Amino acid sequence: MKAAIISDIHSNLEALLVVLKDIKKRRLKSIFCLGDLIGYGANPNECIDLCMKESKVVVAGNHDWAAIDKADVTTFNPVAAEAIKWTQEQISKEGANKLKGLELSHKVDNLFLVHATPTEPEKWRYLFSLEEFEKEFSQFEEQICFIGHSHIPAAIYQDDNGYCDLVRDNPFPIVAKRRYIVNVGSVGQPRDLDPRASYVIYDGNKNNIEIIRLDYNIPLAQQKIIMGGLPEVLADRLLAGR
């Protein structure tokens, strides 16, 4: 199986369109989406529609749940909470219903798909340190777990002795005796100081994983955020990649 894994689109239609075009150009038939379709950006309905139409699997993110009052928005920072309120006013009934139907995790072949963590995915915890990643390997059975949530692309492996480390190559081979947690980064709001949209290609035939970065029309996405009345800091951070 060959698939594209996308996550954290955050209503950024410009970034999503570029990513989908690249996926089509590479003739990848399967797209798995790890959630946070909305929040922060100016095109929630378009992003929900496109993600649902193009993806074989879509799991829920914390912003998706917050928009339909399933996640506690008081845990969000003030700007994120304001963006959720704005999104709730914009979102169509049909769009909200689509978000209500999203599952928290999904297994396909040898892959585990979840937005935040395999353990208690509804708690929306972040994995940053190697120790935090290490604890999660016992919480799924598949060889590879794909996550999003932090907006920082990275791959961590665990060998058959339990040793964990960061994968330093890109692309990198899937080694038979290793298991992986791969953060696919964010399509619509990268936070690793690289403002380009991020997604991942999984090639189960060639046993290979690659993190892809793509330029998109950031000024247009920023203009829409400002014209739409969303907090300006949300426009600034797209260019900064943080």
Could you list the residues that contact Fe ion (CB under 5 A)? 8, 36
CB of 232 to Fe ion, least distance (A): 19
> In this structure, what token pair is assigned to residue 110?
């040898």
What is the residue whose two structure tokens read 């300006």? 232
DSSP per residue, 90-116: H--HHHHHHHHT-BSEEEETTEEEESS
DSSP per residue, 145-207: EEE-SS---EEEEE-TTS-EEE---SSEE--TT-EEEEE---SS---SS--SEEEEEEETTTT
Q: Which is nearer to Fe ion, 34 or 144 (CB)?
A: 34
Q: Which is nearer to Fe ion, 83 or 145 (CB)?
A: 83
Q: Which is nearer to Fe ion, 36 or 82 (CB)?
A: 36
CB of 2 to Fe ion, least distance (A): 25
CB of 151 to Fe ion, least distance (A): 6
CB of 197 to Fe ion, least distance (A): 13
Q: Which is nearer to Fe ion, 36 or 136 (CB)?
A: 36
Give the residue closest to Fe ion by C-beta: 36
> In this structure, what token pair is assigned to residue 159?
């060998």
Q: What is the distance between the alpha carbons of residues 196 and 221, in angstroms, rounded to a whole number?
A: 13
